[in-house]
Structure 1
Amino acid sequence: MKFTLILSFLLLATFFVSFGQEKQPSKSGNNEVNVAEKGLTKISIMYPFAEGKTFNMEYYETKHMPMVAGYLGANLVKYTIEKGLASGIPNQPLPFLAIGTFYVKSLSEYQAAVAPNRDAIRADFANYTNVVPVILVSEVVK
């Protein structure tokens, strides 16, 4: 019984060390970027709002982003999808319908993975939007 309890504790501790490093609020109450994200390359694909523009979030979430993520392979750390709700300034139009973000280890590997698939990625736009995205490549610094 004692051996089973110790083994269970070790397995649980290993799980939390390996997978449980989620972002925690700091003592000051601010949310900080997970230390493991610092130095990653962040590719933000932003879809600006404009009258007459459309965006199919279900397709984007279930088809487009998983397709692109598949091209990125082991270089991909994670990806996120955001749905625009409002402007940060009252009574101003929504700036973006949606933002998709990829966090990758290497920009050059990202570019090498996307280059041969660029036409397929662009062709898929018509399945979920009529917006031309704005893309920002940045480095996570904190």
Structure 2
Amino acid sequence: MVRLTVLYPKTKGTTFNRAYYLESHIPLVKKRLTPFGLQGIDLQEGLSGNEPGSLPAYAMITGLRFNTTDELNRGLNEHGAELIGDIANFTDAQPLMQVSQDL
């Protein structure tokens, strides 16, 4: 299994519209990438950092699961610009992305 992990950094100054993300962005991701082999999406919302009550490092960590990197790459080549363009609708954070293989 191949995973694209998208991490949305959290600072005192960043905004993250959780409702838009869950109700609009994630359905768009599913609609666009499922035909290319998207197997599932894992969502982790940051609650705190090392100390209770401190800011989490990330507002949201999202994992998009595919069987192969070819599936992922085909989907991103076709719809990546649209999906990345939608990020400005829910956050002003610059997301970090990494492609990994589940072991």
Where on the TM-score scale, by shorter chain, does this alignment land: which range? 0.7 to 0.9
Of 10, 19, 22 in structure 2, the residue corresponding to residue 61 of structure 1 is: 22
Report the structure, 1 or 2, having the larger strand content: 2
Of 70, 78, 86 in structure 1, the residue corresponding to residue 31 of structure 2 is: 70
**Aligned counterparts, 1:21-32, within 5 A:** none
Q: Which runs of 5+ in 1 are unaligned?
A: 1-39
Q: Which runs of 4+ in 1 moved over 4 A?
A: none
Q: What percentage of aligned pairs have identical amino acids?
A: 24
1:73 and 1:116 map into 2 onto residues whose CA distance is 12
Q: Which runs of 5+ in 2 are unaligned?
A: none
Pairwise CA distance, 1:60: 0.8
1:123 and 1:90 map into 2 onto residues whose CA distance is 34
**Aligned counterparts, 1:72-91, within 5 A:** 72-74=33-35, 75-87=37-49, 89-90=50-51
Aligned length: 101
Pairwise CA distance, 1:133: 0.4
Pairwise CA distance, 1:122: 1.9
Deviations 1:90-134 (A, max 9, x none): 265310011111111111111111112222112211110001100
Q: Which amino acid aligns with 1:120?
A: E
Partner of 1:106: 68
User: TM-score if structure 1 supplies the norm length?
Assistant: 0.65
Give the structure, 1 or 2, with the largest relative contact order (CA under 8 Å, sep 6 or more): 2
1:129 and 1:57 map into 2 onto residues whose CA distance is 9
Of 59, 84, 87 in structure 2, the residue corresponding to residue 122 of structure 1 is: 84
Alpha carbon RMSD of aligned pairs, Å?
Answer: 1.5
Q: Which amino acid aligns with 2:58?
A: F
Pairwise CA distance, 1:51: 2.3
Pairwise CA distance, 1:86: 0.8
2:27 and 2:68 map into 1 onto residues whose CA distance is 19
Q: Please say if residues 61 and 81 of structure 1, whose CA atoms lie closer than 8 Å, have aligned partners that are also in contact.
A: no
Partner of 1:135: 97
